[in-house]
Chains A and B, each alone.
Chain A
Amino acid sequence: QSALTQPASVSGSPGQSITISCTGTNSDVGGYDYVSWYQQHPGKAPKLIIYDVSNRPSGVSNRFSGSKSGNTASLTISGLQDEDEADYYCTSYRHTSSLAFGGGTKVTVL
């Protein structure tokens, strides 16, 4: 059982927006603004797409955005494209000096 809870799957049609949730506790998501999101295509290494809740690394599309409310963080993908079909993972720093991962969400573009 993962430390952070994500939906197993989310789907949407091209051009639509989807949101993936990531729920933790006061000891991780709710206690720090240190949530990151990663995109992983099959057989590939993860790629950082959001850090510190809502910041995008250089080169990452502005169709990806992040937010947080209480113990739940969210990743929104707007203008869904075929290339967005992948697994997405959230992480959060934890008070025990560790890193918690979500279980991952498979995004399907219909």
Chain B
Amino acid sequence: QVQLVESGGGVVQPGRSLRLSCAAAGFTFSTYAIHWVRQAPGKGLEWVAVISNDGSNKYYADSVKGRFTISRDNSKNTLYLQINSLRAEDTAVYYCARQKEGAGPWALDIWGQGTMVTVSS
């Protein structure tokens, strides 16, 4: 079954760091670009970052540039998001999503169930 499963969320104090993971199954992970998208409670979706299939290209939303780092380990079929200097406004459900093959940039056809990050003292 094609799926993405996020983990690593939790309650974290402001200023601390956190690493989210996204485990892929059911498809050839190393051939797909993967994105992170977040959704603050009761708010809309916000694109965070994307990494190419081989990890050579990475792009970030201006709102997270410099604090967030996207990476992947194709040998483990896993995507990561390192979040540093956490702020209250980073509180959100974080989704990983697969970029659709055979479509223009950047349609996201498979999504995980999300992992909740709460930044609070």
- Chain A interface residues toward B at CB < 8 A: 2, 32-34, 36, 38, 40, 45-48, 51-52, 55, 57, 87, 89, 91, 93, 97-104
Interface of A is mostly: strand
Closest B residue to A45 by CB, please name it. B111
Of A32, A38, A103, most buried by chain B (CB within 10 Å of CB) is A38
Residues of B within 8 A of A55 (CB): 103
Closest A residue to B47 by CB, please name it. A99
Closest B residue to A97 by CB, please name it. B59
Residues of B within 8 A of A104 (CB): 44-45
Closest B residue to A102 by CB, please name it. B44
Of B46, B60, B112, most buried by chain A (CB within 10 Å of CB) is B46
- Chain B interface residues toward A at CB < 8 A: 35, 37, 44-47, 50, 59-62, 95, 97, 100, 103-109, 111-114
**Which of B44, B50, B97, B114 is the one whose CB lies under 8 Å from A89?**
B44
Contact, CB under 8 Å: B106 / A99: yes
Residues of A within 8 A of B103 (CB): 51-52, 55
Closest A residue to B114 by CB, please name it. A45
Contact, CB under 8 Å: B44 / A93: no
Residues of A within 8 A of B37 (CB): 46
Contact, CB under 8 Å: B46 / A101: yes
Contact, CB under 8 Å: B47 / A48: no
CA distance A24 to B47 in the complex (A): 16
Closest A residue to B58 by CB, please name it. A97
CA distance A52 to B100 in the complex (A): 11
Distance between B1 CB and nearest chain A CB, rounded to angstroms: 14
CA distance A101 to B108 in the complex (A): 12
Residues of A within 8 A of B114 (CB): 45
**Which of B46, B97, B106, B111 is the one whose CB lies under 8 Å from A93?**
B106
